[in-house]
């Protein structure tokens, strides 16, 4: 049992106090029978830690918030990217810039081309004078919700017309709340199709996360507001919607996994969290989020994953690690967080320009390079039950395709019971000079996959592209990419790019992909802009979708 001081905290309106306490100790996972030279022990988890319930308040309609005007202040960095305290190379590691990714050469199916967008509009501009934008968004039955740093939220109809915002989400909270005063960024936007609700989140001042859960399926309406104060600063937190909890990961002093009491939050009741930390941390976790009309069972454990490079992380082989989180909100001490399975991958190089070297991808017309965030999993890990086609998980992360050029390793895993099987993997890095990074991946009802990302090179302004594959395409390949939007400028004042983008699937037809990412209109220190686009693969047949018994908005 580790010793950890947990701060006192308060409900979202500053009333009820709570404390967190150790409820037990997590299971340690057995180390492999034999380890490579320099290998480290397998992952272990400490916990669970449970918070006392946090009482929510009800907000005014989001559409009633004032619209932000153009930013007129000085440029600034939204928040420095926090280097993981325990993420250090295994003994003998060195950055091998000469290695070529073995999957890159076969990663493109040049006989087919990714379809062009059917909608392609501007999203929120820079409202904070900061970088990066942390562009994120999600499609619902009738709306698209986009969030960027400020923290600003803007809501569009399906024609791309703004119907609310951009507005500071912190203004939903009352005067005096640290959530109202923070606007510290790292926004998260998730559409929970299992309940036809929206979850919007940002940092709180100090150590905490502000979470707003819509009271109906209308994202412009009222929300239940929570402020969860955490034992450590929850850097780069990500949230996934699952049947029995909202699951969250964070880059804390040790990588952490949280379960938020989704049932209570949907009902607007006092809700708590349960937390585990990685005592032997190896890489950031990413929680799975459900897409499609078929949810997991009510007792199915939440899924997290990470990726590990054998040479850097000191494991026997490059791999994916899948973890199961089973929370018990009635008796938190019964909660478990366990390593379910390690899935070997084809060899990849974890770092592109060296570990935590944020000056990486070149841009046209400037010596300033930008961060490709190759250290961590990218948004999201999507889970979809395809019925007879199996339960699928898709994810992606940035790798060195060769000669310090960023490419994207993507994967599809099939889950059967507690067994995970690699269905396919690929590295998207066509034979040109472009870096491809900041990816986000999704899977539609036909099993088709789409991957969106940023591109840049010494002769090309940062732009937005995407590539897709039909379910019957050759395994491990993506079709020839499509340019979503050509940037017309480079970022000259900071190396911070991303830190993520977002690909989601429209629940109204379960076929249409929606993607959002950043670009520049002119050379500028930080006057980024964002783009929102949608497209559909020809193989995906649109059928009526039932949203788990809830009415659509």
- Please report the pLDDT score of residue 53 as a whole number: 98
DSSP state of 227: E
Pairwise CA distance, residues 184 & 42, whole Å: 35
Q: Which of 425, 424, 423, 450 is nearest to 439 (CA)?
A: 450
- Per-residue three-class SS string for 435-453: EEEEEEEEECCCCCEEEEE
Q: Give the CA diameter of the chain.
A: 62
Does residue 10 form part of some domain? no
- Please report the pLDDT score of residue 354 as a whole number: 86
Does residue 114 form part of some domain? yes
The contacts of residue 326 (CB under 8 Å, 6+ apart) are 299, 301, 302, 335, 336, 337
User: Could you identify the residue written with the tokens 């005063």?
Assistant: 181
Mapped onto helix, strand or coil, the DSSP state of residue 336 is strand
φ and ψ of 95, to 5 deg: -75, 115
H/E stretch holding 111: strand 108-113
Residue 422 Cα distances to 222, 224, 308, 320, 342, angstroms: 42, 39, 15, 9, 10
Does residue 545 form part of some domain? no
Pairwise CA distance, residues 153 & 474, whole Å: 39
User: Could you identify the residue written with the tokens 């009222």?
Assistant: 222
User: Could you identify the residue written with the tokens 């449970």?
Assistant: 50
Give the range of the structural domain holding residue 408, as residue numbers without chain letter.
45-536
Q: Structure pTM?
A: 0.91
Does residue 302 form part of some domain? yes
Q: Which of 302, 306, 331 is nearest to 320 (CA)?
A: 306
- Return the sign of the alpha-carbon dihedral for residues 217, 218, 223, 227: positive
Q: How many domains does the chain have?
A: 1
Antiparallel, parallel or unpaired: β 435-443 and 119-122: unpaired
Does residue 276 form part of some domain? yes
φ and ψ of 334, to 5 deg: -85, -5
- Please report the pLDDT score of residue 29 as a whole number: 36
Mapped onto helix, strand or coil, the DSSP state of residue 62 is helix
Q: How many helices (H) and strands (E) does the chain have?
A: 3, 39
Mapped onto helix, strand or coil, the DSSP state of residue 480 is strand
CATH code for the domain in which residue 129 is found: 2.130.10.10
Q: Which of 179, 213, 216, 219 is nearest to 199 (CA)?
A: 213
Pairwise CA distance, residues 144 & 147, whole Å: 10
- 397 is written with which tokens? 């992360």
- Per-residue three-class SS string for 122-135: ECCCCCCCEECCCC
Mapped onto helix, strand or coil, the DSSP state of residue 417 is coil
φ and ψ of 482, to 5 deg: -115, 140
Does residue 543 form part of some domain? no
Pairwise CA distance, residues 293 & 510, whole Å: 8
Does residue 240 form part of some domain? yes
Pairwise CA distance, residues 52 & 16, whole Å: 10
Does residue 6 form part of some domain? no
The contacts of residue 310 (CB under 8 Å, 6+ apart) are 36, 316, 317, 318, 319, 347
- Tens of pLDDT along 363-405? 999 999 999 999 999 999 999 999 999 999 999 999 999 999 9
- Please report the pLDDT score of residue 128 as a whole number: 86
For residues 78-96, one letter each, b for 16 or more C-beta atoms within 10 angstroms of the residue's C-beta and e for the rest, the string is bbebeebeebebbeebebe
User: Which segments in the chain show pLDDT lower than 70?
Assistant: 1-42, 72-88, 92-98, 184, 281, 544-553
- 286 is written with which tokens? 């990413």
- Please report the pLDDT score of residue 7 as a whole number: 32
Mapped onto helix, strand or coil, the DSSP state of residue 262 is helix
- Please report the pLDDT score of residue 182 as a whole number: 76
- Tens of pLDDT along 49-80? 999 999 999 999 999 999 998 776 666 665 66
Residue 416 Cα distances to 309, 381, 392, 419, 505, angstroms: 25, 17, 9, 5, 23
- 549 is written with which tokens? 């018994």
Pairwise CA distance, residues 498 & 236, whole Å: 12
Pairwise CA distance, residues 193 & 293, whole Å: 7
- Please report the pLDDT score of residue 18 as a whole number: 36
- 496 is written with which tokens? 């911070």
């Amino acid at each position: 049992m580790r010793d950890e001081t947990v701060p006192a905290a308060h409900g979202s309106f500053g009333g009820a106090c709570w404390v967190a306490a150790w409820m037990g100790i997590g299971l340690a996972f057995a180390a492999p029978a034999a380890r490579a030279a320099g290998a480290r022990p397998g992952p272990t988890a400490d916990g669970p830690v449970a918070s006392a319930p946090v009482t929510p308040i009800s907000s005014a309609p989001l559409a009633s918030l004032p619209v932000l005007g153009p930013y007129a202040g000085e440029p600034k960095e939204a928040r420095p990217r926090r280097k993981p305290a325990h993420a250090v190379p295994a003994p003998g590691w060195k950055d091998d810039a000469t290695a070529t990714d073995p999957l890159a050469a076969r990663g493109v199916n040049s006989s087919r081309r990714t379809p062009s967008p059917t909608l392609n509009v501007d999203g929120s501009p820079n409202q904070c004078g900061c970088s990066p934008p942390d562009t994120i968004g999600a499609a619902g039955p009738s709306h698209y919700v986009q969030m960027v740093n400020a923290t600003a939220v803007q809501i569009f109809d399906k024609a791309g017309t703004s119907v609310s915002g951009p507005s500071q989400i912190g203004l939903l909270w009352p005067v005096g709340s640290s959530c109202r005063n923070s606007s510290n960024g790292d926004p998260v936007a998730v559409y929970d199709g299992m309940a036809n609700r929206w979850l919007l989140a940002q940092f709180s001042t100090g150590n905490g996360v502000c979470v707003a859960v819509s009271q109906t399926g209308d994202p412009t309406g009222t929300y239940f507001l929570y402020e969860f104060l955490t034992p450590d600063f929850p850097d780069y937190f990500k949230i996934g919607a699952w049947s029995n909890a909202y699951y969250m990961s964070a880059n804390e002093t040790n990588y952490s996994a949280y379960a938020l009491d989704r049932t209570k939050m949907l009902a607007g009741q006092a809700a708590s969290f349960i937390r585990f930390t990685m005592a032997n941390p190896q890489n950031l976790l990413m929680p799975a989020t459900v897409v499609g009309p078929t949810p997991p069972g009510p007792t199915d454990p939440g899924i997290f994953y990470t990726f590990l490079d054998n040479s850097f992380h000191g494991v026997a082989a490059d791999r994916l690690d899948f973890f199961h989180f089973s929370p018990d909100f009635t008796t938190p001490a019964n909660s478990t967080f366990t390593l379910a399975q390690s899935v070997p991958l084809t060899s990849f190089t974890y770092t592109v320009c060296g570990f935590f070297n944020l000056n990486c991808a070149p841009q046209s017309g400037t010596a300033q390079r930008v961060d490709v965030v190759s250290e961590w999993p990218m948004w999201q890990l999507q889970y979809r039950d395809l019925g007879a086609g199996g339960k699928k998980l898709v994810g992606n992360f940035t790798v060195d395709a060769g000669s310090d050029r960023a490419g994207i390793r993507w994967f599809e895993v099939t889950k059967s019971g507690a067994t995970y099987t690699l269905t396919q993997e690929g590295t998207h890095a066509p034979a040109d000079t472009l870096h491809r990074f900041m990816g986000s991946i999704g899977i539609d009802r036909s099993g088709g996959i789409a991957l969106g990302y940023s591109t840049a090179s010494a002769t090309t302004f940062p732009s937005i592209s995407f590539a897709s594959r039909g379910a019957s395409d050759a395994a491990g390949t993506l079709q020839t990419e499509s340019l979503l939007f050509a940037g017309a400028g480079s970022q000259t004042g900071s190396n911070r790019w991303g830190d993520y983008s977002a690909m989601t699937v429209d629940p109204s037809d379960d076929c249409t992909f929606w993607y959002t990412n950043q670009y520049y209109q002119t050379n500028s220190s930080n006057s980024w802009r964002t783009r929102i686009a949608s497209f559909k693969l020809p193989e995906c047949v649109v059928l009526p979708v039932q949203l788990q018994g809830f009415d659509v908005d």
